[in-house]
Every structure is written in structure tokens, then in C-alpha cells.
Structure 1
Amino acid sequence: MPTSNILASVFGRSPIGPIQKHITTVHQCASQLDPFFQAVFAEEWERVYDLQQKIIKLENEADAIKRSIRLSLPKSLFLPVPRTDLLEIVTGQDKVANRAKDIAGLMFGRKMVIPESMQDVFITYVRRSIATSAQALKAIHELDELLETGFQGREVERVVKMVEELDDIESETDRDQVKVRRMLFALEQKLPPVDVIFLYKIIEWVGDLADRAARVGSHLQLLLAR
């Protein structure tokens, strides 16, 4: 057996590349919510459908990558991080894409309309939630650098700062959620009660997407602390 194959059998293939590919696909999925809601605002339902299908496709791709990582990640992997921690990061990442798919599915399935007076504040809220996913992506793409430095030195400080910035963005998303909910509360009497219920659900899920992205950062921070 060639030396390279012997080493591969002992040390295993690094899962960092696939984990980074996974978060890239997850973020692509979440990012589609921006054009998706723009199409919802315009009530362009064919485009809404096309974007929902794109979100579903990306979520399915993320699922496939997640399954591949779980099946191929060897228990004997020689890395300075526990295998379970890496799997938790992948699971956390995957939940971001799942929530994006949930949002798009409910919005299109009910052909929900966002009141015009709420749209500017709402799209700011959506974009801030997507920004948490972008920051999680940025942090996870530092994993290979962390490995090279043995999870020590300035690279650790750099990633810790990224995670802190991720938490700050998520906190801003919480404030945006309060604004959007207040606007909806003021309009409740003018809207069908069932529509109001589902609009509150969408508002909650957009915030949950940000929470899930922030948890990816939390998992990474715990990994750094070990």
C-alpha cells in the first residue's frame, strides 16, 4: 500500500473542507430569502415559486453534504477537536437551511402578503438575519487556519472576535424583530385574524434563522475553549 494511503487510513481525511462546503451551501440557501421576499412584496407568484424551489434545492444539497460528512467522518480521526463537536457544528449549520425552507414553504403555500407599510422594516429584518448566516460562514471558513495553528495564537483571537461580531448581529436582529412585531400589532385590527397568526409565525421564524446561525458560532466558540 502506498505511504499516502497508509497515512490516510491512520489519520483519516480532514472533514474541514466538507464542513466549509456545507456552510457555503447553507448560506446560499438562506441568502435566497432576500429576492424571495422582494418577489412576495411584488406579488410575483411565479417568481416566488421559482425561488422557493431554488431554496428547496439548496436545502436538499446541504442535507446530502451533511449525510456524507456523518457517514465519512472516521471515529479515529486524529484532529485537535472532538468528532462530536464537528458533528454538532454540521447539525447547527443544517438547521439554518431547514428554517429558510420552512419560511419559503409557508409564505408560498399560503401566498402570504406582507402589508406595504411593513415592507421596508421587514426586508431590513430579513437581511439582518441573512447577515448572521454570512458571519457564521466567515467564521467556519477559518477552521482550516485554526487547524494549521493548532488552535492557538492570534488566529484564535481572530475567530473569537468573529463570533462576538456574530452575536452582535444576532442581537440587532432581535431588535429588528421587536420593531416588526410592533408594526404588525398596530395593523392587527385591519387584517384577517388567520393572516395575522401566520405573519407572526413568519416573523418568529426569520428571527429563529438568525438564532440558529448564532448557535453555529457558539459551537465554534465551545470548540475553541476545549
Structure 2
Amino acid sequence: MPVNSILGVFAKSPIKPILTHIDKVASCSGLLIPFFEASRKQDWIKAEEVRKELSQREKHADELKRELHLRLPKGLFMPIARGDLIELAIRQDKIANTAKDIAGRVYGRKLQIPEEIAEDFMTYLERCLDAVQKAKKAINELDELLEAGFKGREVDIVTKMLSEIESIEDDTDSLQIKLRGELFAIEQHYNPIDVMFLYQIIEWVGRLADHSESIGDQLELMLVRS
């Protein structure tokens, strides 16, 4: 959706821009899968193509967040505070920002995940992206929550999703600990500077799940307030 059409969306529902934003954020972070698949093959031409697309989606997500911040009407009569919607967009945007930073750092150094840990790294990445998708699914329930007045079955559905996000985040913590241990066991065989950046990449990938849990925390707060 062109950013300049976002005002027309507000006329229908103040929730729609949040849904549009999380869709763009999730699609941005999802590109990390083909990006790391290309980098594993040392296909840096393909990796750069994916990185550029990821960067464009991150830029669009940032523009959507900015427009929402500037254009969200202040006089909306609804059970969701304007500030809560803005805070939700800020937390969502951190996922896209982190994905862009990861791809930029890896491509900039032509950094390759060691083959000894590559499979476990991809499992870890996919699990972190599971958290992003679960957060997206929870956000997509906002329209129904609003229609239901933040009561009844819809609240139970979203509450269950938030619990699932927390469980996924716990999984990613365990996977990160395991992956760091595996890297520690082989780090002496690699360039020390590259190893330093590999630890950083592992940490940044984990932030995708952390940011997803943060979105869940904000949703939970909105449920309590409504």
C-alpha cells in the first residue's frame, strides 16, 4: 500500500494501519531466510539482491510508522488509546530495523556462518521468525477485539497467542545458549574479528524474538486497559 493512501485507511479503521505495518515488518524479517541461504553458498550477488529488497521493505515500514505517528487522529472514540497504538507501531518497527542491521552487517563483512553450526543457526533463525509470525497473528486479531469490545472469546484467543509467543521466546533463549556454546568450541579455527561479529549476529537474531515478545507485552497491556 502506498504510504500516501494511509489516510483513507484511517477513515475505515484506526487499526488497519497497524495491520499494514506488521505485515510489512514480518515480510521484511522473513527475507533473512533466503539471505542466509545465499550467504551460506557464498552467493553474494544473490545475498545483495535480497538485502536490498529487505532494506526497501524496512524503509517502507519506517514510513508507515512515521505516517501513523503523525496522522493518527487525536479525537478517536475507541477503547484503545492513541499512545498505545503508536507504542505498538514503535515496537513492531524494531523487528524490521533489526533484520536490516543483521543483513547489512553480514553482507558488509561477507560474513559466513561456520558450516559446523550452520544447520543449528538456521533452526534458531526460523524459531525467532516463528515468534514474529505469532506476533503478527495476534496483531491481526485487533479488529475482531475492537468489534467484540475487548471481551469474550477474542480475548481468550489473543491471550493464548501471547502465551505462545512467550514460549517461543523461551525456546530461542535455549537455542541461543546452545549455538553460542557451539561457536565457542570452534572459534579458535576462525578469524577472531569474524568470530566477534558472529556472536553479535547470534545476539541480534535473538532480538527478533525479544521484540516479538515486547509486542505481546504491549498487547497484553492494552487488553488490561480496555
Normalised by the length of structure 1, the TM-score is: 0.94
Alignment of 1:171-210 (within 5 A): 171-210=170-209
Q: Deviations over 1:139-184 (max 9, x none)?
A: 0000000000000111101100001001111111111101110110
Unaligned runs of 5+ in 2: 1-9
- 1:5 matched residue in structure 2: none
> What is the Cα deviation at residue 12 of structure 1?
6.3
1:132 maps to a residue whose letter is A
Confirm whether residue 129 of structure 1 aligns to residue 128 of structure 2.
Answer: yes
* Pairing 1:53-132 to 2, within 5 Å after superposition: 53-132=52-131
Q: Kindly report structure 1 stretches of 4+ aligned residues shifted beyond 4 Å.
A: none
Matched, 1:220 2:219: yes
Based on CA coordinates, which of the two structures has the bigger radius of gyration? Answer: 1
Structure 2 matches for 1:33-44, cutoff 5 A?
33-44=32-43
| Stretch moving more, 12-21 or 23-32 | 12-21
Of 90-99 and 184-193, deviating more is 184-193
Tell me what 1:19 maps to.
18
What RMSD, in angstroms, separates the aligned Cα atoms of the two structures?
A: 1.1
Q: Which runs of 5 or more structure 1 residues have no equivalent in the other structure?
A: 1-10
Count of paired positions: 216
Alignment partner of 1:62: what SS? helix
Q: Deviations over 1:122-142 (max 9, x none)?
A: 000010111111001000000
Note the alpha carbon deviations across 1:48-105, whole angstroms, 9 max, x for none. Answer: 1001001101001101111111111111111101111111100000000000000000
- The one-letter amino acid of 2:76's match is L
Distance 1:97 1:213 in 2: 11
Corresponding residue number in structure 2 for 1:32: 31
Cα offset for 1:14? 2.6
CA–CA distance in structure 2, aligned partners of residues 84 and 39 of structure 1: 40
1:138 maps to what in 2?
Answer: 137
Once the two structures are overlaid, the 10-residue window that deviates more, 59-68 or 142-151, is 59-68
Q: Is the 8 A contact 1:12 1:74 kept in 2?
A: no
CA contact (8 A) 1:89 1:216 kept: yes
Normalising to structure 2: TM-score of the pair?
A: 0.94
Code of the residue aligned with 2:105 in structure 1: it is L
Contact 1:36 1:51 in 2 (8 A): yes
Identity rate, percent: 49
Please say if residues 22 and 65 of structure 1, whose CA atoms lie closer than 8 Å, have aligned partners that are also in contact.
yes
